[in-house]
A and B are shown apart, each in its own frame.
Chain A
């Protein structure tokens, strides 16, 4: 059973608009969450993280929101740029350094 789910395999957004990528989890013990971006033929690169004691973390154009009661997190990218086109993975961990990844969402930002 998938503990971390990204239910949208793909998303298309116009340049300059907001991109919202969603992630749901089932394990209430998860206390740390991360987002990664992956370009083709490269390894994933870290984007932003949030711990369970917060409900929001911001870094430039990227903001992650955590709703613990709904077991849901989202990544907002504002404004979206063509260079943001990539696959985005969310990941979660529970007090260890063992991360469970979602299946990824492919974001396409249209110029």
Chain B
């Protein structure tokens, strides 16, 4: 498995609270991504990063922000969590030097009550 970890793996939080999910990689891959997976929607891209401090929006970026201050870490923040953000969140990495496929982390299950 590619060296990708996500923390926490599970989280329950209340509506209106801020939440930060962390993705950490040991592969020195250039690109990092955050997806959410929901029934009937598959995997939808939230934000991605193409280098340190370089990020861009995906399909469903509203309500989320990201930061990448170093190659190995990509943080996803929900400034004020809502019940619609209850989902499973996956981080992924890729690099042109390693082909075009993405390698995924194990996921974080977030429940907003």
Chain A positions within 8 Å of B, measured between CB atoms, are 6, 32, 34, 36, 41-46, 49, 89, 91, 93, 97-104
Q: In the complex, what residues of B have CB within 8 A of residue A103's CB?
A: 40-42
For the complex, is B106 an interface residue (Cβ under 8 Å from A)? yes
User: By the criterion CB–CB under 8 Å, are B42 and A44 in contact?
Assistant: no
Name the A residues within 8 Å of B58 (CB-CB): 98
**B50 on the A face (CB < 8 A):** yes
| A34 and B90 within 8 A (CB) | no
Interface size band for B: 20 to 34
B42 touches A102 (CB 8 A): yes
| Contacts A44-B104, A97-B31 supplied; 17 other A-B pairs, CB < 8 Å | A6-B42, A32-B100, A34-B100, A36-B104, A41-B106, A43-B90, A46-B102, A49-B99, A49-B101, A98-B48, A98-B56, A99-B45, A100-B45, A100-B59, A101-B35, A101-B44, A103-B41
Task: Describe B's contact surface by its main secondary structure.
Answer: strand
Closest CB of chain B to A22's CB: distance in Å? 14
Residue of A nearest to B90 (CB): A43
State which of A44, A97, A102 has its C-beta within 8 Å of the C-beta of B90: A44
B31 touches A101 (CB 8 A): no
Residues of A within 8 Å of B44, CB to CB, are: 101
